């Protein structure tokens, strides 16, 4: 079986992001890189997720550049895709913006505990790749 690869255009990347609920956030910490799963929503040209103020993401995700990744794979066909968004993480603090996020998105964390911080990633890079197995 040979394999074909190709870049995904930004529109396809966005559609794939909008079709999922769970991804992974990558941040740099003093202890080294960390990658953690989150559920999220796409809001305009950004990704929004909630986190606890005392966790790794609450301490590091809104102080600098972060990465966000989603993917899918099929081992039987050796096919899959991945989408990577990178940009500045920022804390959502504006009351009107928070109210709109709460009213128009279902951004409730799946995990237990209080996740009071909303973090936004306004991507400045949105890229993706697809791999297709060919018999």
For 107-120, the pLDDT digits (tens) are 666 666 667 789 99
- Asked whether the whole model's pTM tops 0.85, one would answer yes
CATH number at residue 111: 2.30.110.10
What sign has the CA pseudo-torsion 23, 14, 32, 92?
negative
Whether the pLDDT of residue 24 is over 80: the answer is: yes
Domain extent for 18: 2-134
Higher per-residue pLDDT: 1 or 68: 68
H or E segment at 16? helix 10-18
Taking only the tens place, the pLDDT of each residue in 81-116 is 999 999 999 999 999 888 887 777 666 666 666 677
- Specify the number of domains making up the chain: 1
Whether the pLDDT of residue 1 is over 70: the answer is: no
């Amino acid at each position: 079986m040979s394999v074909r690869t190709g870049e995904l255009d930004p529109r396809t990347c966005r559609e794939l992001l909008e079709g999922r609920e769970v991804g992974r956030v990558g941040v740099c910490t003093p202890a080294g890189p960390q990658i953690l799963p989150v559920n999220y929503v796409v809001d305009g040209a950004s990704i929004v997720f909630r986190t606890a103020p005392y966790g790794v993401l609450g301490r590091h995700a809104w102080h600098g550049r972060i990465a966000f990744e989603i993917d899918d794979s099929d081992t039987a066909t050796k096919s899959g895709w991945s989408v990577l968004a990178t940009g500045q993480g920022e804390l959502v603090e504006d009351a009107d913006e928070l109210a709109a996020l709460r009213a128009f998105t279902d951004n409730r964390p799946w995990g237990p505990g209080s996740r009071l911080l909303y973090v936004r990633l306004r991507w400045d890079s949105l890229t993706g790749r697809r791999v297709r197995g060919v018999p």
